[in-house]
Structure 1
Amino acid sequence: MPPSLNAPSVMTPATLPPVRIRIASTVAVVALAHIALIAAIMQMTQRQTPPLSLESKVIMAQLLSQETAPVAAAPAPPALRSAPEPIPHPVVKKKVEPHVAPPRPLPAPKPAPATPKAVTSPEPAPTAAPAQESASSQPAKAPEQPAAQSPAAGPASSRETLAIAAPKAVPHIDCRIVKPDYPALSRRRGETGTADVRFVVGATGTIESVALAKSSGYPRLDDAALAAMRASSCRPYVENGTPIRVTYTQPFGFALDD
């Protein structure tokens, strides 16, 4: 028999319309997505918690370094200041000085026995006193004679000193005279003349001093003559077998023909 139209119809999954299937699938996908998000959030929170423990360790390290620093710096300064305090050395030097002083006065009583010797010697003297007085009166006249001779010796010694001090002027002397250089400027200007130079020769033959006795009229020529005399050399002047100091005047001529 054919089924009746009034009987209730039972719907199976096979008989569900496709629209409802799509809704159910979307709800399931959304639920799965929420579950995945919750799981991801839990994992993120677990990963972020470890850095908090690292920060706490760093803070503890800083506190330990601050506490140990002042402990090491405190004991250093008192050790340096305590060293220079003990200096009691000058007291020992003062004790040694008084020990040296007492032995010095010990040799003082030694000259005492010398006094009785002077007392014993004059005892026999009074017997010969008149004879000594007559003898002493005679030699007293003797020293008067050399006193009379002293004025004669005075001028002789003074003459000797004058002879040593003042050189003797001689007419000739053995010297090697250097020829003076003619100044070029004087030659160009036609300056001519003769300069006389006086010099002193010592007992050893050295030229002690040089002076201009007569000028040539031109300072350049005079300076050239003095320089030539200083460069010259002489032998000692011997008189009576002994060398003496002498003085001599040397002329230096300057002519354009030279």
Structure 2
Amino acid sequence: MLTSRYTVVGAVCAAHLVLIYAAMRASGLMALPEPISAPVLTYIELPMAQPDPVPQPKPLAEPPKPQSVKPAPRQPVPKPAPRQAEPKPVLTEPSETALSALAEPAPAPAPAPAPAAAPAPAPAPAAAGPATDPIFDAAYLNNPKPSYPRQSQMLREEGTVLVKVRVSEGGLPLSVTLAQSSGFSRLDNAALDSVKRWRFKPAMRGKEPVEANVNVPVRFELPR
């Protein structure tokens, strides 16, 4: 019974509310609310930022491959040449024509002037006889041969030295000079030093020894 009563009251109230609402709408007191437009959300897909590329490490250059060095071919060691016997200078005997042309006998001393009161007799002429030149190549003289300079042998220096000697009556060299050079001072000096120690058979005029000049050729020649 109580429930029906409440239902009637509720229905009356609802009717009144509808009437009030209709009256207010009619009088314009109540306007319908404007529809609210919902905002349209537009999504724009932005491109994702690309990360900076990480620099890749540069590949290390390969070290150059060591080149194989071929050992130089071993040069054959030259065998030392067999030592040759030390060459000795050759003494060449001058011709008789050259010796006679070069021989210069000492001039005979001039006689002293005789006093007018008693003139002296003329000096006796020298013993007649053929004149000979000094001799240097006789076997019994034992003259040593000039030594061949070592440096001249290495440089292959050769030649003939002509030495002019003034020989005394006793066969000793009074002066030794260079008459003709070989073209090499070492050979010239070797010939001069050796001939200074020589002994000679003096020149003869008849049976008497006299001073005279003689040319001594000394040839330096290497073996072939």
TM-score band, normalised by shorter chain: 0.3 to 0.5
Higher helix share: 1
Structure of higher RCO (CA pairs closer than 8 Å, 6+ residues apart): 2
Larger Rg: 2
TM-score (norm. length: structure 1): 0.34
